[in-house]
């Protein structure tokens, strides 16, 4: 592309060579197109820590005061294994149903603020934990606790 | 019979660049405005997805949150991880990094940084349960979906030690992309 004049040559004898400008704008466009980064829509779950409480380990009381979901890492199968009580539950819907059932039992006992405690091994992928948090949120269970310290006993 | 010669018409063929320049300017403006030139708070991470996650409203005024990214070390000519690059779950502790404001930290150095963040913005009132002023900072944990839970636990534990109790965990919403 050579130069281009704006308007009619006879009316406007002073031609402006826009080729250089077009080149520069092309370069700028390519630069910004390459550096464009679309951000994925993301949100957050509030997980406020209890003030003045450290990690408390396993509950010492004999009475069950929580819904505890234990998560282990199966190295051989490279997958997380979830247990509610002594039952292994791999299916999300099944886990949701059982958590809901356990939560409803506590509500009937006039304990609607019962927590769901996630007791997971350190090697478990983070997505497995978020899946459980998500299931609890679906059931409108607001009190979710993360167990700290030693790995859960099998 | 003589043939008539067609009259020679001189056509001045010029390319009108003005509409193209207008469009180029608009494109340039769009890309310039959408360019992220700020200090990178967020690393490129594949977050775990959760349909119940709510997009938090943007903070007005002073920014009181700080983000800890937990992510796998990027592939480079000097570093490769066969497990992670094939979509597997890498469990090598040295391959997972913590980053705050584009600065990388180890398990040992992260506590000092969190301590600084905690002290930089304290709540006005003394908390009656701890008898000290807790940090007003909100800490956002952005962990890769395959990050070991132990690393997230570590950040939470350090937060508890330095007095940061407002914690949020990030997840992507698959319905909102």
**pLDDT tens track for B129-158:** 778 888 888 899 999 999 999 999 889 988
Residue A121 forms contact with B (CB below 8 Å): yes
As a whole number, mean pLDDT of residues B31-51 equals 74
pLDDT value of position B70: 92
More confident residue, B107 or B72: B72
Residue from B52, B55, B71 whose CB has the most chain A CBs within 10 Å, to mutate: B52
Measured distance CA(A13)–CA(A10) in Å, rounded: 6
As a whole number, mean pLDDT of residues A71-78 equals 86
Measured distance CA(A71)–CA(A69) in Å, rounded: 7
For chain B, what is the total number of helices (H) and then of strands (E)? 4, 5
In this structure, are A73 and A134 located in the same domain? yes
What's the maximum distance between 2 C-alpha atoms anywhere in chain B?
117
Beta-carbon contacts of B144 under 8 Å, excluding residues fewer than 6 positions away, are A126, B45, B46, B47, B70, B71, B72
Tokens at A104, concatenated: 């409803």
Residue B117 class from Cβ within 10 Å (0-12 exposed, 13-18 middle, 19+ buried)?
A: buried
In this structure, are A79 and A132 located in the same domain? yes
In this structure, are A25 and A77 located in the same domain? no
- A2 within some domain: yes
Report the chain A residue with the minimal C-alpha distance to residue B174. A41
Share of chain A above pLDDT 70, in %: 75
In this structure, are A76 and A140 located in the same domain? yes
- A106 within some domain: yes
In this structure, are A30 and A72 located in the same domain? no
- The size of the A-B interface in CB pairs under 8 A is 170
In this structure, are A131 and A77 located in the same domain? yes
Measured distance CA(A145)–CA(B48) in Å, rounded: 19
As a whole number, mean pLDDT of residues B103-122 equals 86
Given a cut of 50, whether residue A1 has pLDDT beyond it is no
Three-state DSSP class for residue B12: coil
As a whole number, mean pLDDT of residues B35-54 equals 74
Residue A42 forms contact with B (CB below 8 Å): yes
Q: Whole-prediction pTM value? A: 0.71
Distance from CA of A10 to the nearest CA of B (A): 13
Beta-carbon contacts of A28 under 8 Å, excluding residues fewer than 6 positions away, are B28, B31, B32
Residue B18 forms contact with A (CB below 8 Å): yes
More confident residue, B31 or A94: A94
Which ranges of B35-148 does DSSP label H, i.e. alpha helix?
82-85, 107-120
Measured distance CA(A130)–CA(B115) in Å, rounded: 27
**Contact yes or no for B100/B116 (Cβ under 8 A):** no
In this structure, are A96 and A142 located in the same domain? yes
**Buried/exposed code over B63-98 (b: 16+ C-beta within 10 A; e: otherwise):** eebbbbbbbbbeeeeeeebeebeeeebbbeeeebbb
Q: How confident is the model at residue B36 (pLDDT cuts 50, 70, 90)?
A: low
Q: How far is CA A84 from the centre of its chain?
A: 22
What is the domain range of residue A83? 67-146
Tens of pLDDT, residues A88-98: 888 888 999 99
Residue B165 forms contact with A (CB below 8 Å): yes
Count how many Cα atoms sit within 13 Å of the Cα of residue B57 in the half-sphere of its side chain: 3
In this structure, are A30 and A91 located in the same domain? no
In this structure, are A92 and A134 located in the same domain? yes
Tens of pLDDT, residues A135-148: 998 888 888 888 87
Beta carbons of A128 and B149 less than 8 Å apart: yes
Boundary of a domain, candidates A9, A26, A42: A42
pLDDT value of position B177: 47
User: Which DSSP symbol is given to B76?
Assistant: B
pLDDT value of position A2: 44
Share of chain A above pLDDT 90, in %: 9
Which range, of A119-123, B52-56, B146-150, averages the lowest pLDDT? Answer: B52-56
**Number of domains forming the structure of chain A:** 2
- A153 within some domain: no
In this structure, are A107 and A142 located in the same domain? yes
Nearest to A146 among B15, B32, B156 (CB): B156
Asked whether the CA dihedral A94, A100, A105, A106 is positive or negative, the reply is positive
As a whole number, mean pLDDT of residues B58-86 equals 79
Instruction: For residue B3, give Cα distances in angstroms to A56, A128, B9.
Output: 108, 88, 18
Q: Measured between beta carbons, which residues in chain B are less than 8 angstroms from residue A44?
A: 53-54, 56, 140, 168-171
Strands B103-105 and B138-143, by their bridges, are unpaired
Q: What is the CATH number of the domain that holds A125?
A: 3.30.420.270
Given a cut of 80, whether residue A107 has pLDDT beyond it is yes
Nearest to A51 among B130, B144, B145 (CB): B130
- A57 within some domain: no
Domain boundaries, chain B: 65-176
Measured distance CA(B127)–CA(A89) in Å, rounded: 41
pLDDT value of position A151: 54
Q: Could you count the other beta carbons within 10 Å of the beta carbon of residue B101?
A: 13
Given a cut of 60, whether residue A9 has pLDDT beyond it is no
Residue A34 forms contact with B (CB below 8 Å): no
């Amino acid at each position: 592309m050579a130069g281009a004049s704006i308007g009619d040559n006879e009316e406007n004898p002073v031609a402006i060579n826009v080729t250089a400008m077009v080149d520069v704008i092309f370069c700028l466009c390519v630069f910004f197109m390459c550096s464009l980064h679309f951000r994925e829509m993301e949100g957050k779950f509030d997980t406020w820590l209890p003030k003045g409480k450290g990690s408390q380990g396993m509950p010492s009381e004999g009475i069950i005061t929580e819904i505890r979901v234990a998560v282990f890492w199966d190295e051989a199968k490279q997958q997380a294994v979830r247990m509610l009580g002594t039952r292994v539950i791999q299916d999300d819907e099944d886990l949701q149903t059982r958590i809901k059932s356990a939560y409803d039992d506590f509500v009937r006992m006039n304990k609607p603020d019962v927590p769901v405690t996630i007791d997971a091994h350190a090697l478990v992928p983070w997505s497995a934990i978020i899946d459980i948090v998500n299931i609890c949120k679906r059931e409108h269970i607001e009190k979710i606790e993360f167990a700290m310290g030693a790995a859960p006993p099998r | 019979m003589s043939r008539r010669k067609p009259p020679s018409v001189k056509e001045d063929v010029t390319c009108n660049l003005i509409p193209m320049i207008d469009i180029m300017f608009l494109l340039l403006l769009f890309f310039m405005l959408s360019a992220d030139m700020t200090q990178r708070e967020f690393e490129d991470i594949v977050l775990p997805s959760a349909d119940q996650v709510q997009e938090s409203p943007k903070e007005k005024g002073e920014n009181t949150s700080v983000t800890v990214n937990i992510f796998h070390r990027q592939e480079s000519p000097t570093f490769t991880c066969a497990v992670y690059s094939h979509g597997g779950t890498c469990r090598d502790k040295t391959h997972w990094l913590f980053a705050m404001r584009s600065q990388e930290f180890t398990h040992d150095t992260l506590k000092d940084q969190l301590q600084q963040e905690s002290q930089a913005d304290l709540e006005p009132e003394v908390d009656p349960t701890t008898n000290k002023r807790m940090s007003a900072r909100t800490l956002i944990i952005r962990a890769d979906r395959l990050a070991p839970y132990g690393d997230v636990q570590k950040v939470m534990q350090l937060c508890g030690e330095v007095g940061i109790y407002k914690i949020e965990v990030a997840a992507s919403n698959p319905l909102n992309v």
